[in-house]
Amino acid sequence: MNHQVFNQMEKFGHEQVIFNYDQVTGLKSIIALHDTTLGPAFGGCRMVPYESEDAALEDVLRLSYSMTYKCGISGVDYGGGKAVIMGDPQRDKSEGLFRSLGRFVEMLKGRFYTGADAGTRPEDFVQSFRETKYIVGLPEAFGGSGNPAVNTAYGVLLGIKASAKEKYGESNLKGKTVAVQGLGKVGGTLVDHLVEEECRVVVTDVSKEAIETVTQKYPKIKSVEPDEIYKVKCDIFSPNAMGGVMNDFTVEKLKCDIVAGAANNQLKEKKHSKMLHDKGILYAPDYIVNAGGLIQVSDEIGGHNRERIKIKTERIYDILLQVFEISRLENITTGEASDKLSVQRIETVNQLQSNYTGDNISC
């Protein structure tokens, strides 16, 4: 694998990739910093029993790359980064493991902030916080803003409403059928929002327990097997689990008007944005739709404010409408339109930062 790292960094344009191993705790982690033009890199830390080191490296590179675009388009002054831990979140967590991770984050001296992601919880990072101050998304009792999944789910709802506005001419979701893939921290909360909006909801998850929790709470909600969710005839398909779910096989199966969800890197490849476009399916770029969590935790730096977080999150709706307009006017995919808007902001800020600001010069 090691001889491929620099090729991969060159391909995606990464600044720095750090491999961390702690013999005492068994921690095996990778931290990837993609672009810090806008400021320190932000990105959660996910814990997954990866099949190989190559799989872990590919994941952290793709995720950190997407974080740069998410930060760029969301209006926050931070860059893209990500961390992964190779391990089983059900079996391998320990105080030492997360304190060790905190030590590695501390070594970057503020170039990278991290917190909970897939397979990790805000409570895990209470241990990391004992070793470094560069942790965000902590429980409120420890000075954080609380679980960012709640705000992420709110942002997803806004993304779905903006997509409905573009596709149907109104954002009202009453009576719309939404197929929700993944009932974790974000997907489960999203279901609550959709029920309040009087949607018809169909769900799936690899965890039968997660499905039972939702269907017991809402008896009218239907569930299907994980592989069947793509075939459900619906208005909106909402992926809220792992990435790569939009691929050659699944796109052909879809029977929906809109794809809008919280999962990172939903497109297996960029060509799948074009496939959705050609099929007449409106794709809401995932790194806009799922930006609510980033907006919340980035607001913690210097002291968070609930009303400010809400105002910033509600911009997701307007940003998506702008992306959809660019897509229509320039006849490009929504993915291309979103990337274009994000890069424009990063380049503008980069140019502004090159301007002389009048610092004193000693002669």
Q: Could you give the C-alpha distances from 112 to 32, 34, 81, 136, 298, in angstroms and in order? A: 9, 10, 7, 11, 12
* Alpha carbon distance 259, 197 (integer Å): 18
- 185 catalytically annotated: no
* Alpha carbon distance 215, 37 (integer Å): 45
Of the listed 28, 70, 82, 93, which one is catalytic? 82
* Alpha carbon distance 43, 66 (integer Å): 10
* Alpha carbon distance 146, 180 (integer Å): 24
Neighbouring C-beta atoms of residue 261, cutoff 10 Å: 29
Cα angle 191-48-32, degrees, rounded to a multiple of 5? 105
Between strands 28-35 and 200-204, the pairing is unpaired
Residue type at position 106: E
Between strands 28-35 and 79-86, the pairing is antiparallel
Q: Which of 257, 79, 273, 299 is nearest to 173 (CA)?
A: 257
* Alpha carbon distance 98, 94 (integer Å): 7
Which positions ≥6 away from 247 have C-beta within 8 Å?
A: 268, 269, 272
- The string of DSSP letters for 74-122 reads HT-S-EEEEEEEES-TTTS--HHHHHHHHHHHHHTTTSEEB-B-TT--T
Which positions ≥6 away from 46 have C-beta within 8 Å?
A: 59, 63, 82, 83, 84, 85, 117, 118, 119, 120
Catalogue the active-site residues: 82
